[in-house]
Amino acid sequence: MIEKYINTIRQGDCLALFKGIPDDSVDITFADPPFNLGKKYTSYEDSVEFEEYLHWCEMWISEMVLVTKPTGSIFVHNIPRWLTYYSGFLNKMADFKHRISWDAPTAPMGKSLQPAHYGILYYAKDAKQNKYYEIRYPYKRCRKCGYLLKDYGGKKAGLHPFGPLVSDVWTDIHRIKHNKYRDEHPCQLPIHLLERIILMSTDEGDIVLDPFAGTGTTAIAAKRLGRKYICFDIDEVYTEITEKKLSQEEGSSRIGTVWVSFFSSEVITVRHENWEELSMFYELPYPNNKIDYIKIDFKNRSEVLGHCACFKRRNARSRMEEKLLFHVE
Ligand SMILES: C[S@@+](CC[C@H](N)C(=O)[O-])C[C@H]1O[C@@H](n2cnc3c(N)ncnc32)[C@H](O)[C@@H]1O
């Protein structure tokens, strides 16, 4: 029964669409709902009464938990205020794993501390059976001198060549700032945010469901990483934009046989267990403590990344920019 939903974007109300998805059938669910902050959506009123909003949230959160497999995970993204209520709902139905703080400046809210992060609640349907993979991200370095920003003292020789394990505070993924990189949508998420979530909680071929797909961030991340997707959105224009974008995507976010997440053409999330295979593609500093000032890079960038859509896109962009700057034909 789930087959007809696989790799489709359904236009409609998520509560109605959830009825077609069998219980315990998808590997992860991710939701980035309207925040009830009066945002300008084309076909949705983003400003309803407090109780009404929370009641509605509890309904779709319950559906998310129901359709998730016992090995699966549930992720919900929102501002800290709404997450305090969401935890109350989720604690009754699933097992708490983390509350991820995603460092991203948000709009000033009047007389309050300046909001500077969003939260992502991360629950396991059943903690004992939950599928989870440790992930790593690149070290933060000084842009000018290239040295590691964090002082690891005498422990540099033992550092992992790629970078630290990802914690529950994410400071290395930025919101989409420039209009030229976003669709006609008021709150599109970065694709590599979803790729990180997908890499740590699913395997190739697993099913990712997003009931508030917007312009398709989750579906694109899933497709790039060789996963399946099921997406809903109430807005016809957004679903059309998503379909169009998906038709230009391929499952090529890979190095060798290993799925990784790129931003531009830099690898920004890898699974710890894949490092042994991945490390063969990199020039590693020797001795290891040179990591302090030498950033690892590919032995042959174009050979390693030539098949990746991200690399082709970047090359096409730089060729275009070259033409514009230097009037090259
Ligand atoms: C915060 S946005 C999601 C943005 C998305 N994460 C992205 O990166 O593009 C919320 C989305 O929920 C959709 N929406 C609102 N009410 C809905 C409902 N009842 N069922 C399905 N989608 C709904 C809106 O059209 C909007 O696109």
| pLDDT tens by residue, 80-92 | 999 999 999 999 9
Query: What CA–CA distance (Å, rounded) separates 110 from 191?
Result: 30
Phi, psi of 238 (to 5 degrees): -65, -40
Place of tokens 């998503």: 242
What pLDDT does 326 receive? 39
Q: Quick one: average pLDDT of 131-155?
A: 93
- Pocket of ligand 1 contains residue 215 by CB under 6 Å: yes
Q: Is the CB of 237 under 6 A from ligand 1?
A: no
17-43: average pLDDT: 90
Distance CA(181)–CA(183), nearest Å, equals: 7
Ligand 1 atom with least separation from CA of 39: 1
Question: Quick check: 250 and 223 in contact, CB under 8 A?
Answer: yes
Listed by start position, the domains of the chain span 3-249
Atom index in ligand 1 nearest the CA of residue 42 equals: 25
Ligand 1 centroid vs 214 CA: distance in angstroms?
5
CA of 169 to the centre of ligand 1 (A): 25
Q: Which ligand 1 atom minimizes the distance to the CA of 212?
A: 12
Q: For 153-195, what is each residue's pLDDT tens digit?
A: 888 889 999 999 999 999 999 887 666 666 666 689 999 999 9
Ligand 1 pocket: which of 44, 57, 78, 236 to mutate (most atoms <8 Å of CB)? 44
34 lines ligand 1 (CB under 6 A): yes
Nearest residue CA, atom 27 of ligand 1?
Answer: 214
Query: Domain 3-249 is classified in which CATH homologous superfamily?
Result: Vaccinia Virus protein VP39 (3.40.50.150)
